[in-house]
């Protein structure tokens, strides 16, 4: 299993989240790009890097046990201090369509379990996203 940079691992999470419901919406793609452009953790990670990483992630997702491979690579590549960041970027992408499908909710649950996130931490991240993306 190859390792990823921290930025690649976070991008893998976003791409996997966007692909969870089998449709990549324009909003999800735009949100991934915006996240890479604005979050400090992605400083130095270019749009070209994102495209290359997204293609690599998509290829792995299409393999048998692809999701397990992705989760293993992400966990092996991220320090524990970035587990909450990984969950936050996943929630950010899930909220792009202003409605999370069952597959997306299931992926969030799998990610929480894989990263062994504290329930209060994950609830706070989810609540923050709901507050930011609430419709008038």
**pLDDT computed for residue 110 by the predictor:** 96
**pLDDT computed for residue 131 by the predictor:** 87
**pLDDT computed for residue 72 by the predictor:** 96
Residues 17-62 pLDDT 10s: 999 987 777 888 899 999 999 999 999 999 999 999 999 999 999 9
Domains and their CATH numbers in the chain: 6-132 (1.10.3680.10)
Chain-wide mean pLDDT for the chain?
Answer: 92
Give the list of residues 6+ apart from residue 121 with CB closer than 8 angstroms, or none: 84, 87
Angstrom distance (rounded) from CA 98 to CA 94: 8
Residue 118 has pLDDT above 60, yes or no: yes
Give which of 95, 101, 104 is closest to 128, Cα–Cα: 95
pTM attached to this predicted model: 0.93
Give the list of residues 6+ apart from residue 82 with CB closer than 8 angstroms, or none: 6, 9, 10, 41
What's the token pair of residue 135? Answer: 């419709």
Give which of 48, 40, 75, 54 is closest to 11, Cα–Cα: 54
1 pLDDT band, cuts 50/70/90, is low
**pLDDT computed for residue 21 by the predictor:** 80
Residue 75 has pLDDT above 80, yes or no: yes
């Amino acid at each position: 299993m190859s390792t990823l940079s921290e930025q690649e691992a976070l991008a893998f999470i976003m791409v996997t989240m966007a692909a969870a419901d089998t449709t990549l919406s324009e909003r999800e793609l735009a949100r991934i790009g915006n996240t890479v452009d604005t979050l400090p953790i992605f400083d130095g990670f270019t749009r070209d890097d994102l495209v290359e990483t997204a293609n690599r992630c998509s290829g792995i997702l299409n393999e048998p046990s692809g999701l397990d491979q992705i989760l293993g690579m992400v966990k092996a590549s991220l320090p524990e201090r970035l587990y909450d960041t990984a969950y936050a970027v996943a929630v950010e992408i899930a909220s792009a369509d202003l409605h999370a499908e069952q597959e997306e909710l299931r992926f969030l649950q799998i990610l929480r379990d894989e990263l062994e996130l504290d329930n209060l931490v994950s609830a706070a991240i989810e609540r923050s996203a709901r507050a930011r993306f609430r419709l008038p």
